[in-house]
Structure 1
Amino acid sequence: MSINRRQALTKIIGISTAAAGVTLMGTSAFAATDEQGNFRLALGDKLKYVPLDAMATAKLAYETGGGCMHQVFHSLVTMLANSSSADAAKFASIPTAIAAYGGAGIAGQGTVCGNMNATGMLVNILDDINGQNAAVIGAAFRYYETTELPLSSAEFIAGIGSTEEKTAKVGKSSIANSVLCHSSISNWSKASGFSFSEKGERCYRLSASIAYHLVELLNRAYAGEDIAALPESKPSEDAQNCQSCHGATSTMGSAASVKTDMECTVCHTGHFN
């Protein structure tokens, strides 16, 4: 009697789990599909990006809710699911609710901002965009660190479906100087006079702002622009100075080896202060 590949795999799994005294449940190790043949995103899968409407994506992020990471991830995945991408149906299969954990710096821990967490999560599953995927992430992170956010022009406010009346709940935009939620919220609180508990409208608009800029970067990369060559995509001068001694592959004397492009002096005062 002959057996096919699936039957053989089933027998191997059955033997292995019986020997271990455990029950193993799972789908095929050879394809990103379940037993019914439905696509399931697997490690290493890359899906095709196509240019999106930045303002429409920002509006969806603003309207979505569920925390900043969910807003950005859900809006881009949903827009791609409804796009002309050859992988639109695969984007539609992604359960975007998994991104909800990232709100307020990962479940309120104040660590990496959920907007940036979502940026990495989204770009990681995109097929190569003219070799610019990593550069897009870097440029998005530097933008978040150095730009006065959320965007506050009348055009942007109207485009996302907000109102000038709600602007009073935002107070002032601010510069995060970091990719950490803690720094971002603290600097906004200092500028606006509002507390963390009053961040609602500000953070809705912030997620819309990041979704907007991320789409812009992805569209520019898709069009062939060299994102990595942009001055704004590189670490700050201070961070580059730190890297000259605290490198990833070599260091100055007994200096610690460090791998990061994020702002250094927000937390580290340097050696001469």
Structure 2
Amino acid sequence: MSKKKLTALGATRRDLLKGTGALLLGLTAGKLLLPESSAQAKAITEKWPWPYEKLDPVETAELAYRGWYKLFCGGSVVCSIFSQLRKKVGGPYNLIPIEAFIFAEGGVAGWGTICGSLLGANVVTNFILGPRIAGTHLGALMGSEIMEWYCEAAMPVYVPKNPKVDPKKIPHTVSDSPLCHISVGKWMKKANKSLKSPERRDRCARVTASVAYHLVVLLNKWKDGKYEPDAEFPSGEYGIPAQHNCEACHGDDVPEAPES
């Protein structure tokens, strides 16, 4: 395989190695502040909810938009929020190697599964609000809510202040699915643009910014004590992990899940 062969989202192997090198440099420069012991780390990170200070949705979206061109979808959602909370709060946010979440690129390593921006959003909600095993369902429910919103929204929603591509060249599509393959595929068909085109790349950067914006709106409501989950777990309704539009893939032949 050529060293210059492009990844699924257009970055070269050299670009990815540079990103890894930057992460290692950040570690040695002290950007990742390690505790003195594993017990201390556990005491800091496994006590939920994590401290949270309200963020500006627009500023966060701008960070996510620009960050996409380095960390792509999942990594830039996590970075847009955690980088700000490192400054505002510190503590557990200093223990997260943010750039590691670049793996969510292209629906996880280019496989077109869950959109990386949604994976990043669920990472954020479960880190801040806490996982279900910690005695709260809020992290999972907020993650589920933002996934449903993503499926129904005409993406991209957010328009950056200084876009790299003319907004008139970025059409809107409704994915009806949290899958990268379907979301990107529907957009590419409507826009008649290739995966490596500047328009497709900027579209995904704007989708990522849209998710980061919406996520901060929900987190701010939670901080104010006004968040009421507007979501459910699809598996409870269908008896199998699923999305709400089964017919999109199965047509009229949707199989019934066994009851026992």
TM-score by length of 1: 0.68
Partner Cα separation in structure 2 for residue 42 and residue 224 of structure 1:
23
Tell me which amino acid in the other structure corresponds to 1:166. D
Partner Cα separation in structure 2 for residue 36 and residue 119 of structure 1:
26
Alignment partner, residue 13 of structure 2? none
Partner Cα separation in structure 1 for residue 217 and residue 129 of structure 2:
17
Tell me which amino acid in the other structure corresponds to 1:167. P
Are 1:188 and 2:193 matched, yes or no?
A: no
Are 1:178 and 2:171 matched, yes or no?
A: no
Alignment partner, residue 107 of structure 1? 109
Are 1:71 and 2:73 matched, yes or no?
A: no
Q: How far apart are residue 128 of structure 1 and its match?
A: 5.2
Give CA-to-partner distance per residue, 1:33-60, whole Å, 9 cap, x none: 4449974798745322221111111111
Bigger helix share: 2
Partner Cα separation in structure 2 for residue 148 and residue 189 of structure 1:
14
Secondary structure at the aligned position of 1:71 is classed as helix
Alignment partner, residue 5 of structure 1? none
Instruction: Judge conservation of contact 1:81–1:91 (CA < 8 Å) in 2.
Output: yes
Are 1:167 and 2:172 matched, yes or no?
A: no
TM-score by length of 2: 0.71
Instruction: Judge conservation of contact 2:151–2:178 (CA < 8 Å) in 1.
Output: yes
Q: How far apart are residue 262 of structure 1 and its match?
A: 4.5
Secondary structure at the aligned position of 1:205 is classed as helix
Alignment partner, residue 93 of structure 2? 91
Are 1:259 and 2:235 matched, yes or no?
A: no
Partner Cα separation in structure 1 for residue 191 and residue 36 of structure 2:
50
Give CA-to-partner distance per residue, 1:73-95, whole Å, 9 cap, x none: 11111111122x3xx23213311
Instruction: Judge conservation of contact 2:129–2:138 (CA < 8 Å) in 1.
Output: no
Partner Cα separation in structure 1 for residue 251 and residue 36 of structure 2:
52
Alignment partner, residue 12 of structure 2? none
Q: How far apart are residue 200 of structure 1 and its match?
A: 1.0
Secondary structure at the aligned position of 1:52 is classed as coil
Give CA-to-partner distance per residue, 1:224-259, whole Å, 9 cap, x none: 23432x4xx358xxx79xx66x42xxxxxxxxxx13
Identity of aligned residues (%): 25
Tell me which amino acid in the other structure corresponds to 1:217. L
Instruction: Judge conservation of contact 1:179–1:262 (CA < 8 Å) in 2.
Output: no
Give CA-to-partner distance per residue, 1:93-135, whole Å, 9 cap, x none: 3110110000011111111110011011111111459963222
Alignment partner, residue 53 of structure 1? 56
Alignment partner, residue 269 of structure 1? 251
**Any stretches of 5+ residues in structure 2 without a counterpart?**
1-33, 255-260
Secondary structure at the aligned position of 2:193 is classed as coil
Q: 1:41 to 1:55 in 2, by over 3 A?
A: farther
